[in-house]
């Protein structure tokens, strides 16, 4: 910075306190970043008030209007001025900042909004008269009587009019509306027993953007219904139920099958004690849970609900309360990884139903003209075929050039999930018949997965063989050395044996034999980077899995090999008995199931 900078003066600057209005406007930037932040804070206040119905009206992406209406407990006329005061709240008394059981507790949201917008609160508690208070840019605040049913209507107009610089950095109305919709959907998933309605009031009479009625039944059923409304019924039909507990932590929710994935991490929802959060530790654990069943360019779909004693998690990390810190982050990460992996293994070979639907969609072609069938030409005489035509009298031993068809004994195999093998196409695809349709199996991908799972079981039972280095490799890592020495026992179980070798230095004594000759220094730095980013590391395990995957690929049935009927049926039975066999090592489906009804529609029979 040059000496002629106008912000630098040779005179000694005086220290003076900022006025309250400036303090509130500066602080508002932490709590209310954009209209979606305001909606989040107001809806959370409604939920903390015990509301069972929440309506959100928005105009111009929240810049012109945000109105949240609820049927909660309401605010008395005497408390309305306090509701707009900074650090005034009814949710905690200040004596215990650990046992937080509400969405809000800092007492900053309404004061921040009142400092940068025009805010009006109209409220009526049960058994009391209604009242309202209005504040514009931090000024005003006279309480007046008002007519209202039980509950609260909080209206925010002209957001950031008092801070025009912040207003210039907002995105388009459409982008801000999308962000608001995302916030409301996350809160709707957190509270399935509450009805939500989001309406865009930019044009009269308003357009309902999102609506979710209150779900009934027990918590698990209510969550499943709500997740079906928000994410889609395809998700709930192609997801496994989570229910795991460890060290005071509980994990519930739904995790999508590996073959039901997305191209981006846009459908991952994580809740801690009912609070929607965005946490790198938990997101990294979700990725690790799908490590060897999903391609790196695909992302799982999941809604995870972590519950624990409030004393085990700190939600007072950031004013927006979207980040949390666990007392034992390794336990939370381990619970997510093991809970999802066990749930996926429990469903066995199952693949998502969307795979078959996508296949049918690939077959279907919209005709350029209406279909005309032979029966529609009844007035035309049928053309006689030559008496000696191959079409009139097919040879008894004729088969399709690229298919091998073998008679299979009818031993009830059609009642099994993958049915009975009927043919092999192009020496790579097995066609099986079930009671309700057909199954197409990629023999190489399926057998590759079977061999891979067998190798993993053998490694888990016998352990990871290590090779001792003739000369230990000395790696200097600074402060990271202590981090790695803390998990030395875990690394040793994976065949990587390390020990301290002076301050900030590690000696690598043994490495996993499966990896062959490796450079230890880059591997250790990768482990450190992963621990820093995600709170744990799967680097060594991932490399071992990659080696096993390559071994499985070379040791499996190759494409182009002809298989007998007994071999094909044996492969189908082994797929049914092997967990995670519904997808290959790269996350692609190993089989596609086509329902008979869908096939008939392709031929216009339905």
Other beta carbons less than 10 A from residue 311's beta carbon: 12
**CA 311 to CA 98: how far, in whole Å?**
5
Residues 75, 150 contacting (CB under 8 angstroms): no
Residue 77 has what pLDDT? 92
* Six token digits for residue 273: 């004690």
* Six token digits for residue 109: 């949201």
**CA 209 to CA 218: how far, in whole Å?**
27
Run of H or E residues at 442: strand 437-442
pTM: 0.77
Query: 3-state DSSP call for residue 560?
Result: coil
Would you mind telling me the total number of residues written for the chain in this entry?
A: 606
User: Which comes out higher in pLDDT, residue 530 or 360?
Assistant: 530
Residue 407 has what pLDDT? 47
Residues 419, 434 contacting (CB under 8 angstroms): yes
Other beta carbons less than 10 A from residue 424's beta carbon: 24
CB contact set of 8 (below 8 Å; sequence gap of 6+): 1
Nearest to 111 by CA among 142, 144, 135: 135
The predicted model gives 280-294 an average pLDDT of: 88
Question: Out of 48-52, 101-105, 185-189, 326-330, which region has the weakest mean confidence (pLDDT)?
Answer: 101-105
The predicted model gives 2-27 an average pLDDT of: 67
Nearest to 339 by CA among 250, 220, 458: 250
Residues 447, 571 contacting (CB under 8 angstroms): yes
Angle at CA of residue 183, ends 30 and 243, nearest 5°:
115
- First-last CA distance in the chain: 76
DSSP state of 428: T
Run of H or E residues at 179: helix 173-190
Query: 3-state DSSP call for residue 484?
Result: helix
Hey, which of 8-17, 270-279, 559-568 has the most confident mean pLDDT? Answer: 270-279
* Six token digits for residue 409: 């004994």
**Domain 460-555 classified CATH 3.40.50.620?**
no
**CA 475 to CA 499: how far, in whole Å?**
11
Sign of CA dihedral 493, 494, 496, 502: negative
Q: How far is CA 427 from the centre of its chain?
A: 38
pLDDT over 90 (residue 109): no
Q: Mention the CATH class of domain 231-346.
A: alpha beta
Mean model confidence pLDDT for the chain: 83
Give the pLDDT confidence of 384-432 residue by residue, as tens digits.
444 443 334 444 444 444 555 554 555 678 888 899 999 999 889 999 9
Q: Mention the CATH class of domain 20-212.
A: alpha beta
Give the pLDDT confidence of 331-345 residue by residue, as tens digits.
999 999 999 999 998
Residues 110, 163 contacting (CB under 8 angstroms): no
Domain boundaries, the chain: 20-212, 231-346, 460-555
* Six token digits for residue 117: 């917008």
**CA 66 to CA 77: how far, in whole Å?**
22
Give the pLDDT confidence of 31-58 residue by residue, as tens digits.
788 999 999 999 999 999 999 999 999 9
Residues 431, 404 contacting (CB under 8 angstroms): no
CB contact set of 71 (below 8 Å; sequence gap of 6+): 51, 52, 53, 149, 150, 151
Q: Do domains 20-212 and 460-555 have the same CATH topology?
A: no
Residue 408 has what pLDDT? 52
The predicted model gives 556-575 an average pLDDT of: 86
Tokens 């008939």 belong to residue = 600
**CA 39 to CA 179: how far, in whole Å?**
10
Q: How far is CA 125 from the centre of its chain?
A: 38
Residue 131 has what pLDDT? 95
Residues 23, 82 contacting (CB under 8 angstroms): no
Please state, in angstroms and as integers, the Cα–Cα distance from residue 567 to each residue in 421, 422, 508, 555, 578, following that order.
9, 12, 46, 16, 16
């Amino acid at each position: 910075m040059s000496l002629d900078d106008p912000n630098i003066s040779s005179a000694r600057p005086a220290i003076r306190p900022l006025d309250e209005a400036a303090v509130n406007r500066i602080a508002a930037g932490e709590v209310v970043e954009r209209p979606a932040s305001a909606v989040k804070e107001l809806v959370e206040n409604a939920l903390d008030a015990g509301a069972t119905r929440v309506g959100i009206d928005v105009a111009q992406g929240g810049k012109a209007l945000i109105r949240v209406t609820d049927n909660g407990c309401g605010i008395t006329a005497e408390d309305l001025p306090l509701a707009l005061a900074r650090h005034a709240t009814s949710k905690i008394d200040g004596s215990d900042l650990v046992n937080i059981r509400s969405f809000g507790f800092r007492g900053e949201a309404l004061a921040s909004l009142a400092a940068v917008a025009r805010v009006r609160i109209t409220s009526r508690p049960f058994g009391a008269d209604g009242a309202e208070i209005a504040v514009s840019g931090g000024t005003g605040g006279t309480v007046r009587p008002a007519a209202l049913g039980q509950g609260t209507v909080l209206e925010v107009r002209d957001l950031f009019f008092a801070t025009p610089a912040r207003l210039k950095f907002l995105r388009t109305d459409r982008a801000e509306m999308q962000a608001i919709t995302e916030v409301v959907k996350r809160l709707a998933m957190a509270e399935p027993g509450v009805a939500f309605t989001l309406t865009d009031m930019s044009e009269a009479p308003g357009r309902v953007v999102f609506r979710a009625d209150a779900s009934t039944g027990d918590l698990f059923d209510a969550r499943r219904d709500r997740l079906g409304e928000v994410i889609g019924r395809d998700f709930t039909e192609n997801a496994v139920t989570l229910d795991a507990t460890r060290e005071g932590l509980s994990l519930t929710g739904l995790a999508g099958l590996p073959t039901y994935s997305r191209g981006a991490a846009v459908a991952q929802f994580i809740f801690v004690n009912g609070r929607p959060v965005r946490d790198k530790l938990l997101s990294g654990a979700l990725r690790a849970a799908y490590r060897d069943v999903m391609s790196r360019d695909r992302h799982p779909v999941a809604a995870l609900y972590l519950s624990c004693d409030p004393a085990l998690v700190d939600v007072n990390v950031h004013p927006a309360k979207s980040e949390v810190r666990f007392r034992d982050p390794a336990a939370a990460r381990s619970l997510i990884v093991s809970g999802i992996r066990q749930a996926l293994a429990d469903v066995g070979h199952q693949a998502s139903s969307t795979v078959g639907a996508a296949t049918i969609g690939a077959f279907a072609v919209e005709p350029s003209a209406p279909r005309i069938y032979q029966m529609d030409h009844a007035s035309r005489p049928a053309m006689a075929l030559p008496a000696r035509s191959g079409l009139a009298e097919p040879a008894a031993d004729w088969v399709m050039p690229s298919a091998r068809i073998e008679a299979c004994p009818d031993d009830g195999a059609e009642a099994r999930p993958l049915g009975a093998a009927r043919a092999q196409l192009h020496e790579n695809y097995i066609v099986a018949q079930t009671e309700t349709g057909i199954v197409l199996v990629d023999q190489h991908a399926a057998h590759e997965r079977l061999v891979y799972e067998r190798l993993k079981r053998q490694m888990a039972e016998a352990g990871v063989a290590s090779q001792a280095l003739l000369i230990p490799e000395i790696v200097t890592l600074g402060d990271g050395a202590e981090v790695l020495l803390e998990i030395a026992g875990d690394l040793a179980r994976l065949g990587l044996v390390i020990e301290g070798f002076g301050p900030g230095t590690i000696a690598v004594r043994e490495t996993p034999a499966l990896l062959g000759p490796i450079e230890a220094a880059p591997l250790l730095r990768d482990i450190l980077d992963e621990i820093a980013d995600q709170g744990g590391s799967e680097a060594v395990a991932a490399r071992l899995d990659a080696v096993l995957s390559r071994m499985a690929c070379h040791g499996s049935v190759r494409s182009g090999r002809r298989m007998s009927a007994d071999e094909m049926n044996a492969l189908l039975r082994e797929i049914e008995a092997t967990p995670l066999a519904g997808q290959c090592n790269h996350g692609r489906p190993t089989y596609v199931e086509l329902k008979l009804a869908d096939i008939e529609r392709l031929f216009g029979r339905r």
